[in-house]
Amino acid sequence: VRRDVQAVLLVLVGGAVLRLSLSGSYTNYVKQSMGIWLDLAGAALVALGAWTAVRAFREHRAAAAEGETAETAEPAADDDGHGHGLTRAAWLLLLPVVAIFVVAPPALGAFSANRTPVVVPQPPPQALPPLVGDPVQIGVVDYAMRAVWDNGTSLRGRDVEMVGFVTHGPNGAWYLTKLQISCCAADAQPYKVKVLGDFGPYSDNAWVVVRGHWVPGGGTQRDDAIPWVQATSVRAVAQPANPYE
């Protein structure tokens, strides 16, 4: 790959990363805490690309001025030596660039949540501090852990409010769902809470706020349990800035 093309590829990849991090849409793909690292990596790549472009331009001009031949003007340094083939892999970096700028796929939703079995891991006791607020703003993951492993004790009698997206189960049931990521969207793990009450219908992937209270049901003390919530109100909202937990 020639030096000028190298420069363009570097700027494109760095630019795509910066676009994700500066627009905030990177949270559709990776954890929120990655933002600063994406800023740095994107800026480093753009800088490297710019540096490479300046070198390419200067050498080009120097070569033209001194009347050197092509071979000496463009040292084999950055050249793939025509047909070794390996550095041609660099072209593949266009794929994520195109995916980011052109396709811009949304955060994972109902499709992924329904393909991965629900696992509610048992939390250590210190991970369940007393709830504050009325209504309690609680995450779907936190709610599921308290309902399943704490038998709902800390939720009893509390008014709760949870944000998530809608997925559907058998017999017309629908779930308030959230995906948890440890690293990036490749390891997304679904958490679901079955919503009781006459609300809806909502379509898959619709983001909603459910207000209600805990009711027993769905099972406890096993990690494939899907707890219940009795809804008193449900309203549609926009997707939150960070769609994962």
Partner 1 sequence: VTEQQQAPSTDQVEPPVLEAARRLPFGALEILVVLLVVLLLAQRWVTAAFDGHPALQSFATIFIAICVQALPFLVLGVVLSAAIGAFVPPAFWAKAVPDNAALAVPVAACAGVVLPGCECASVPVAGGLVARGVKPAAALAFLLSAPAINPVVLVATSVAFPGRPSMVLARFLASLATAVVVGWIWARFGRGSWMRPPRRPPTEGLTPYEAFRTTMAHDFLQSGGFLVIGGLTAAALNVVVPRTWLSDVAGHPFWSVLFLAGLAVVLAICSEADAFVAASLTTFTPTAQLAFMVVGPTVDLKLVAMQAGTFGRTFASRFAPLTFVVAVLSASLVGWWLL
- Site residues for partner 1, 54-73, by CB under 8 A, read 55, 60, 63-64, 67, 69-70, 73
* Binding of partner 1 by 44 (CB under 8 A): yes
CA distance 221 to 65: 78
Site pattern 174..193 for partner 1 (x: CB under 8 A): --------xxxxxx-x----
107 touching partner 1, by CB under 8 A: yes
Please tell me whether residue 99 binds partner 1 under the rule CB under 8 A: yes
Phi, psi of 214 (to 5 degrees): -70, 135
Assess 110 for contact with partner 1 (CB under 8 A): yes
Per rule CB under 8 A, count of chain residues that contact partner 1: 83
CA 143, 147, 150, 154 torsion-angle sign: positive
Q: How far is the CB of 118 from partner 1 (least distance, A)?
A: 10
Nearer residue to partner 1 within complex by CB, 87 or 242: 87
Cβ of residue 216: shortest distance to partner 1, in angstroms?
23
Burial 105-121 (b: 16+ CB within 10 A, else e): eebbbbebbbeeebebe
Does residue 242 interact with partner 1 by CB under 8 A? no
Identify the residue among 23, 77, 129, 172 touching partner 1 (CB under 8 A). 77
Of 22, 57, 58, 75, the one binding partner 1 (CB under 8 A) is 75
Half-sphere exposure of 56 (CA within 13 A, CB side): 18
Rule CB under 8 A: say whether 165 interacts with partner 1: no
Residue with tokens 């219908």: 201
Q: Determine which residue in the list 115, 171, 172, 238 makes contact with partner 1, applying CB under 8 A.
A: 115
207 contact partners, CB below 8 Å, separation of at least 6: 163, 164, 165, 166, 236, 237, 238, 239, 240
Q: Which is nearer to partner 1, 113 or 138 (CB)?
A: 113
Q: Which of 24, 58, 111, 221 binds partner 1 (CB under 8 A)?
A: 111
SS3 of 93, please? helix
The answer to whether the Cα torsion of 153, 154, 157, 160 is positive or negative is negative
Q: How far apart are CA 190 and CA 112, in angstroms?
A: 8
